[in-house]
Each structure stands twice: as structure tokens, then as C-alpha cells.
Structure 1
Amino acid sequence: MTARIDHLVTSGTFTLDGGEWDVDNNVWIVGDDTEAFVIDAAHDAAAIEAALGGRALRAIVSTHAHSDHIDAAPSLAEATGAPVLLHRADLPLWQQVHPDRLPDGYLADGQVLEVAGVPFKVLHTPGHTPGAVCLYVPVLNTVFTGDTLFRGGPGATGRSFSHFPTIVGSIREKLLTLPPATVVRTGHGDSTTVGAESPHLDEWIVRGH
């Protein structure tokens, strides 16, 4: 069976540094008719489980630990038995949201995960958060970037645990080196491609955050 990418948008709140914002999140489900990964369990565990359609959930892969990307992860894990995976550098953020439950496993740069015969390469891309990761899936001509790279520029770096020069370095070294036709599937909003974003790197640096 051929692997595919399913897309779900869930809505809720993002809280950090004493602020709260209403947000819509992209939830990506990648797999075949039998098994799948969920990338970022945002807001609504029941809706995500329904979108799985009975497929075995092999892992909940978190691109980073901002509340809007992980708030439904424990509930979805409990419902499905799937482990929650996160980069260890984001544990301080995770524990702000889920102080009584740790992730089930930790992601590392260069690690390869596999579901439905499709390999996912973990790229550690700090800047938006210390443990932000992107997931490169060459078989599907896709990179899942969470909040590291959007259509039109890098993710926000104006809050705690974030750093603009670091995110620009991550994008330059880990993402813009991918094939230009690679589809960038983001944590919020529309998708783009590596080639569409590459020419704007210098503009981002001048603009700063």
C-alpha cells in the first residue's frame, strides 16, 4: 500500500510567557491504510484519532514543545498506545504543559524513523525552540517543519527559549540545502517549497526578529 499524507486542522490556544493566543494548527498524519505517524498532536485528540480511521498509530512525533503542538499528545497516546517523541532540549517547555508526564522517547539529529515503509530523517533545527526538529521524508518529497520555516519566512523568535540567529542558521544549514522542489509542510498555514523560500534568506536576516 502506498503511503500518503493526510491533513487535519485543529483549533485551540497557545500559551507562553503569560500570554494566550487563539491558533489553528496543522496536524499531519503520514502512513498507509494500516499504520501511521501523527506529527504534532494539537488541541483535539478525538478528532485526530477519528482521522486515523482505525489505523495503528506508531508514534506521535512532536516538532517542538510549544503548548499548541503538544496539548493533545498525552490523551492521544492514552487512547492509541502510541509513544510521544520529542527532542530532549525541549523538556523545559514540555514540562510547563505536562508537568506530570514525560515524553516516551527522545528524538536526535540524524535519527531515522520509519512507518509504512517510509523513512523520516530527524533534523534538529533549534531557534524557534531549543529542541525544534523538522522531519525530512524524501520518498514523499516533503519536509515537515513545524514552526521553524513557514511560507514567507522563519518561525517567531520573540518569546522565551527562542533565538533569531539560531533559527536562521538552522534553516540555512538543514532546510535550504534540501532539493528545491521539496514541499514544506508547516505547523500553521499554507505549504510552500524549499525553492520558493531560499531566495529570501538575506531578507530575513536584514529584517530580523
Structure 2
Amino acid sequence: MTDVRIDRTETSGTFSLDGGTWEVENNVWVVGDDSACVVIDPAHDLDAVARLVGDRTVQAVLLTHAHDDHSALAPEAGRRFGAPVHLHPEEAPLWRLAHGEDAPETTDLADGQRIAVGDTELEVLHTPGHSPGSVCFYGPELAWEGETPVVFSGDTLFQGGPGATGRSFSDFPTIVASITDRLLVLPVETSVLTGHGPATRIGDEAPHRQEWLDRGE
């Protein structure tokens, strides 16, 4: 059994895209052991994130996607924690929207890449649809509330179905295909640790796929 644990905090702020701005609450996940960790989507409040990190070394800041509620503070987080910021290269247009044409460079994530965290690994799953370079992080040895394994789904899959589409750079058929091909094939007991709102399980969401398709975008 791994010594790596999962810590969570919820932060509040805004999300802006396509001329609109919305109030949002984000889940921030810190994954690691007593000495080192990674931070997933450090949103809105870096002091709250730092309290979760404590005196541990941050090995990487991992972004599920580049919407500004997830990524606006990522460069500052990288500087504060002395860690590289990792993002899928297909998120470049949204990264520039969040940070301008002179946006800071990031370290590329690739589908199938494995990221060492303590004595275990996270696997990168490219799951486009909510945005072109959205990714999930699968931890086959990690546990949440006593259940193993887990997947950090960002805004790809929530309790109740797919993440939002209909805005720039998103596509409903693509997100359903990503969920079907990359997430619903995971063990039914997999905990889905989302970018917003409560966790769910693959086995709780899979039976509703046809309902998503019928509902459409």
C-alpha cells in the first residue's frame, strides 16, 4: 500500500470566457507523502494551497486544463513552490487567453505519461472535449475515503455527467467520447475527484451515458 495521501481544499473565485464571468468554487488537490507532493489546479487562493502543502517539497504543479479559474495562479504557484507547471500543449490557446501572448512557458504533458509521486505514479489521460488539451490524472494505487483507485477529472466528468461544453474550444461529442473511451473503462469503484463539487464514482456515472447523449449539449 502506498504512503501517498490526497488532501483537498475548496477555493472561491471567478471563471471568465467568451465575454462572461461567473462565480465558481474549485477543488484543489494536493497529492503526496510526508516529504514531497504535487499540486493539481491551484485555484484562487495560494495561501490555502500552501497550508495543505505545509513544509513539503512541491515537485510539480499539474493542470487539468487552462481555463482561468484553474490556471490563473499557476505561474505564481510555480514560483512560490519552486516547481514546474505542467500543461497539455493543446491548451496553448486557452493558456494565452489566461496569461496573454507572452504567457510563461509550461512543461508539456503527454497522454500515457507517468508522473512519480512518492512511491506511486499518476498516469496522464488526455480527455479532450471540455477543452482541447484537458487531461485527467489516474492514480491506480491511491485511495479516497477508503476507496481505491482514483482519477482526478478536472472539468471532464462530474457527479451527474460531462463537464460544460458550448463555449470556445469545447465540443460535446468529443467530451462524451473521451469519457467513454478513457474514463468509463476504469474500474467501477474508481473515485472521480472533480474540479468542482462533490466526488463521484465511475460505477455511479457509467449507467447514465445514454442519458447524456439524449440530453446533448
Could you tell me the TM-score, scaled by structure 1's length?
0.98
Give the whole-Å Cα distance in 1 for the aligned partners of 2:73 and 2:23: 16
Instruction: Say whether 1:101 aligns with 2:103.
Output: yes
Deviations 1:26-78 (A, max 9, x none): 00000011000111011112221222011100000000000000111111111
Give the whole-Å Cα distance in 1 for the aligned partners of 2:53 and 2:177: 35
Number of the residue aligned with 1:125: 127
Number of the residue aligned with 1:116: 118
Aligned AA (1:120): L
Give the whole-Å Cα distance in 2 for the aligned partners of 1:204 and 1:53: 40
State the shift of 1:115 in Å: 1.2
Give the whole-Å Cα distance in 2 for the aligned partners of 1:34 and 1:123: 26
Aligned AA (1:136): Y
Give the whole-Å Cα distance in 1 for the aligned partners of 2:117 and 2:151: 15
Aligned AA (1:112): R
Instruction: Say whether 1:165 aligns with 2:176.
Output: no
**Which range is displaced more, 179-188 or 1-10?**
1-10
* Secondary structure in 1 matching 2:141: helix
Q: Is the 8 A contact 1:86 1:103 kept in 2?
A: no
* Secondary structure in 1 matching 2:77: helix
State the shift of 1:137 in Å: 0.3
Number of the residue aligned with 1:192: 200
Q: Is the 8 A contact 2:75 2:104 kept in 1?
A: no
State the shift of 1:110 in Å: 0.5
Number of the residue aligned with 1:137: 139
Number of the residue aligned with 1:175: 183
Aligned AA (2:137): L
Could you tell me the TM-score, scaled by structure 2's length?
0.94
State the shift of 1:80 in Å: 1.1
Aligned AA (2:139): V
State the shift of 1:25 in Å: 0.0
Q: Is the 8 A contact 2:3 2:119 kept in 1?
A: no
Deviations 1:69-127 (A, max 9, x none): 01111111111110000000001001111123334301011111111111110000000
Q: Is the 8 A contact 1:45 1:73 kept in 2?
A: no
Number of the residue aligned with 2:160: 152
Give the whole-Å Cα distance in 2 for the aligned partners of 1:101 and 1:5: 30
Instruction: Say whether 1:203 aligns with 2:211.
Output: yes
**Tell me, which stretches of 5 or more residues in structure 1 are unaligned?**
none
Aligned AA (2:127): T
Aligned residues: CA RMSD: 0.9
* Secondary structure in 2 matching 1:30: strand
Identity of aligned residues (%): 55
Give the whole-Å Cα distance in 1 for the aligned partners of 2:34 and 2:4: 8
Query: What is the count of residue pairs matched by the alignment?
Result: 209
Deviations 1:142-201 (A, max 9, x none): 000000000000000021000000000000000000000000000000000000000000
Number of the residue aligned with 2:13: 12
**Tell me, which stretches of 5 or more residues in structure 2 are unaligned?**
143-148
Number of the residue aligned with 1:52: 53
Give the whole-Å Cα distance in 2 for the aligned partners of 1:158 and 1:109: 24
